[in-house]
Amino acid sequence: MNLFNYLKSGILISTLLASQIALAQANRPIIAVGEITTAIGQFDTMSIQLALENALQKTNKFTIMERTRLATLLEERGLSASGIADGIDNYSGFSGVDYMVLGSVSNITVENRSVLIASNCEASLSMNIRVVDLATGEIRLSESVEVEDTINSILNGEANACAGISLSSINLIGEEVADGIANRLTMGIFPIMVARVDGSEVYLNYGEGSLSPGQLLSITKLGEGFMDPATGEMLGQEEETTAIILVNEVRSNFTIADIVINSSDPAVGDIAYYLNSRDDIRAVERCVDATQRAVSSCERDPDGRRCESRSQTREERCSVLLDL
């Protein structure tokens, strides 16, 4: 291939990739972060709103609507974000936005605490978050969030560490919860799913910021859905846990995990759920330990009684995982 054809081929590939990326971005739902309100005087919530926008942007699952554009759309329709949040405004036919994030800061407390020879200024912030699906009116997420943090410390147990602390210092702890809210919202709309299966490796559609090495997840296969015969509303789907996986490698946009145990092979489109409780983690550890013992015994003496006994123990301990 001569230089001209080589360059032409490279330009074509780059153009195709750019087109695919643009198409993927165009298909992302549009989400807008409305005003975060508060009844607390002089408390500016704009930094929390910006933090939520940035956190949602990092998920790579949404197109974020600019605040000025959202304000224009609301004004054109004679609506307000607070009216939508309270169910007062009729937003039927509201186009251009798929989801709207609304929130309010309900309480702020600041307390000076003496700890031995030091004084700490402890602050807490309570916030309510709601996400409205503007196509259906459904509330896709409704959470009350409370976060506490030490915002100042001085080595004087008798001094007031909260003296001179401004509301902007407290604002920072509200910003810190933005990533967690964004992840919960994103996974409520876009669950963690199997994107690829390669032997004992399972690829998931979330990466950095959502998953980390060493995390355990269960894989669930969704079965036939069932509906309310009176309203036609989808009530749910049959679910079957088919595997437990352990996160091995986390990339920017996807994660690779290893199968710990499975009753059937995971498939593309299966849903993954976090296993976070201590009981679940201990159950997995018992399964892994029993598996290692069984493999060791059976390698030494495949027909021996110890191999049989430990294989049975492994079966008992690991089969429990598929009921998690």
Q: Among candidates 175, 129, 116, 183, which has minimal Cα distance to 151?
A: 175
Q: Categorize the per-residue pLDDT at 243 as very low, low, confident or very high, splitting at 50, 70 and 90.
A: very high
165 and 259 belong to one structural domain? no
Asked if the model's pLDDT at residue 14 lies above 50, the reply is no
pLDDT tens string 138-169:
788 888 888 888 888 988 878 898 988 877 77
CA distance 323 to 249: 26
**Would you state the pLDDT for residue 234?**
64
**Would you state the pLDDT for residue 72?**
80
The parent domain of residue 241 ranges over 191-323
Asked if the model's pLDDT at residue 270 lies above 90, the reply is yes
**Would you state the pLDDT for residue 2?**
53
Averaged pLDDT, 296-319: 90
Q: The domain that contains 284 carries what CATH number?
A: 2.40.10.410
**Looking at 148, 168, 188, which one is the last position of a domain?**
188
**Looking at 138, 162, 188, which one is the last position of a domain?**
188
160 and 307 belong to one structural domain? no
Contact by Cβ (8 Å): 193, 257: no
CA distance 31 to 101: 7
pTM: 0.63
pLDDT tens string 161-171:
898 887 777 87
Asked if the model's pLDDT at residue 252 lies above 80, the reply is yes
**Looking at 139, 157, 188, which one is the last position of a domain?**
188
Asked if the model's pLDDT at residue 11 lies above 70, the reply is no
Averaged pLDDT, 72-76: 77
Q: Categorize the per-residue pLDDT at 9 as very low, low, confident or very high, splitting at 50, 70 and 90.
A: low
197 and 171 belong to one structural domain? no
CA distance 14 to 171: 43
Contact by Cβ (8 Å): 159, 119: yes
Asked if the model's pLDDT at residue 109 lies above 70, the reply is yes
pLDDT tens string 312-324:
998 888 887 777 5
Contact by Cβ (8 Å): 318, 212: no
170 and 235 belong to one structural domain? no
Which residue matches tokens 């609507």?
A: 65
For 153, other C-beta atoms within 10 Å of its C-beta total: 14
| Structural domains in the chain (count) | 2
Half-sphere exposure of residue 76: CA atoms within 13 angstroms, side-chain side: 10
Q: The domain that contains 174 carries what CATH number?
A: 3.40.50.10610
Q: Residue 150: what are its φ and ψ, rounded to 5°?
A: -90, 120
SS3 of 183-223: HHHHHHHCCCEEEEEECCEEEECCCCCCCCCCCEEEEEEEE
Averaged pLDDT, 94-120: 85
203 and 281 belong to one structural domain? yes
